[in-house]
Amino acid sequence: MGDHILDDNLESDNLADFTRMNSRLDSFRGSILAQQVSAERLARAGFYFTGQADRVRCFSCQKTVENWCREDTPVERHMEVSPNCKFLSCTHHSGYNPSPLTNGAIYNEEAEDMEYRLRTGSIVDETPYPRFPHMRSEEARLQTFSSWPPTAPVRPQDLVQAGLFYMGEGDQVQCFCCGGMLNNWEPGDDAWGEHAKYCVTCFFILGHDVGNVPLPGGADEELNRSGEHSSAHVHMGSFEERLASFACGQHPIDHESLARAGFYSIGSGDKVSCFSCGGGLKGWQPEEDPWEEHAKHYPGCRFLLAEKGPAFVNSIQLQGRPQNAAAPSHQNGFSSHENEVLRLDVAQKALEMGIESSVVEKTILKKISSTGSGYSTVEALVEDCLNGTAEDNSEQTQEQDEDPLEKLRKLQREKQCKICMDRDICIVFIPCGHLVSCKQCSEALLKCPICCGAITQKIKTYIA
């Protein structure tokens, strides 16, 4: 796969077993700590149990944390002892972004959990986009940079192309689409990269058509710092120039395909760069498609969007994500892809005994969800599998004995909007989390009818 041209390397360690979520979860089996703090939350924060008192260790930075309390947030405690841990920076950057989003904000576990559910498709954001429709034009955004600090390390035109406009103070900018705010820019920062890093669910970043209006001339017209159009020739702007750059390069991909996708060789190994967005890729594999890699890593490129369209970019961004929002592909930190739960030793032994894989997986996930730890012996797993199957059969018998008409009425009452008592509930109010309203009734609400809390966001959810 084409990689970003970056020299960041994850810290090396000799504990390869604990780089996997399953291994870290397994380490908490039977520990008293898992009864105080969720084993899943600890494992997601990079920790595994050392076996000593309540001490845990990060598999990446090797820092340890102990003396846990029930109200502790694992990621926050991890940050306290190791603020520069590479694992945190790679996997929990979104948690630093309470709304409004800012790079440099404190960790927000609730915001990270919400973003996780948005990514996996279990909920859908119904908040209107773009948040700032008057800034959908790149020309309007560019005009806000009249007082942009001349010493700032990022150019206004790059920020504008990334959907950002200047807020008039310091170096703080905001996205016209998602409302995310970024500041504290440093030399080497890339506008698109930083926006994608801290606002991973932004519809503009993901390639949705949110009404962005490019500057006249699009990618074929260079802008100077004052915002005036320049007639200067765009470097590598023509297909012929880009194709000629590959004359002496070593690339496993067809040169013409790379050039048509906007890339030109930068003369070092198989490294290429896009003439429009400046995005760089390397480490090419023969089977990779340049257009797809372009859309995967730099979805906001104007040349890419103009040539392939938002629908293509969005389809690439969504590859590997669940297509049915009613059935999220992740549960309890495990990926249903390749059934990672079933790879556990106890699960394999249970399968060898003839127990159905669906029953084994369901039983293990239920155990982790309720106790924070998995099974230490195959005997316990098999017993719960058999008991669970018996309980399911008993429940099915009870359901069959219940009057079908009464059962239907009960289900209808549970799903009814508590306001109109007609349509089905489907909107979750944030931050209180109450699910009580249909979409139509929610549009007129400013406060939650259950707790009277102010509504900051309305999320559409699907009841399976």
For residue 372, is pLDDT > 60? no
Q: Tell me what the mean pLDDT of segment 407-428 comes to.
A: 75
Output 105 or 410, whichever has higher pLDDT. 410
Return mean pLDDT, the chain.
Answer: 74
pLDDT at 133: 87
Domains 3-91 and 239-317 share a fold: yes
Evaluated on CA atoms 431, 456, 179, 307, the torsion sign reads: positive
Mean pLDDT over residues 92-102, rounded?
42
Mean pLDDT, rounded, for 439-463 = 78
Per-residue model confidence (pLDDT) at position 327: 30
Domain spans of the chain, in order of start: 3-91, 239-317, 338-401, 408-461
d(CA 345, CA 349): 6
Q: Rounded CA gap, 303 and 277, in Å?
A: 8
Instruction: Report pLDDT for 221.
Output: 42
Three-state SS sequence of 343-391: HCHHHHHHHHCCCCHHHHHHHHHHHHHHHCCCCCCHHHHHHHHHHHHHH
Number of Cα atoms under 13 Å in the Cβ half of residue 100: 13
Residues in contact with 391: Cβ distance below 8 Å, sequence separation at least 6, in sequence order = none
* pLDDT one-digit tens code per residue, 32-86: 898 888 888 898 888 999 988 899 999 889 999 999 998 888 988 998 999 888 8
Q: Is the preceding omega at residue 431 within 30 degrees of 0, hence cis? A: yes
Q: What is the 8-class DSSP label of residue 417?
A: -
pLDDT in tens, 226-262: 333 333 457 888 899 999 888 877 788 889 999 999 9
Is 222 a residue whose pLDDT tops 90? Answer: no
pLDDT reading at 337 higher than 60: no
Closest C-alpha among 159, 160, 202 to residue 180: 202
Residue 28: strand, helix, or coil: coil
What number is the average pLDDT over the span 25-37? Answer: 88
pTM of the model: 0.34
Average pLDDT over residues 431-445: 80
In the chain, % of residues over pLDDT 70: 70
pLDDT of residue 329: 30
pLDDT band at 172 (very low <50, low <70, confident <90, very high): very high
Q: Which residue has the higher pLDDT, 237 or 328?
A: 237
CATH fold of 408-461 reads: Herpes Virus-1 (3.30.40)
Between 455 and 334, residue with greater pLDDT: 455
| CATH code for the domain defined by 239-317 | 1.10.1170.10
Q: What pLDDT score does 119 carry?
A: 55
Average pLDDT over residues 284-301: 85
Are 221 and 303 a contacting pair, CB within 8 Å?
Answer: no
Does residue 9 have a pLDDT over 50?
Answer: no
Question: Which residue type is seen at 302?
Answer: R
Cis status, amide bond into 130, omega within 30 of 0: yes
Tell me the CATH number of domain 338-401, given options 3.40.1010.10, 1.10.760.10, 1.10.8.10, 3.40.50.720.
1.10.8.10
Q: Which CATH architecture has domain 3-91?
A: Orthogonal Bundle (1.10)
Greater confidence (385 vs 4) lies with 385
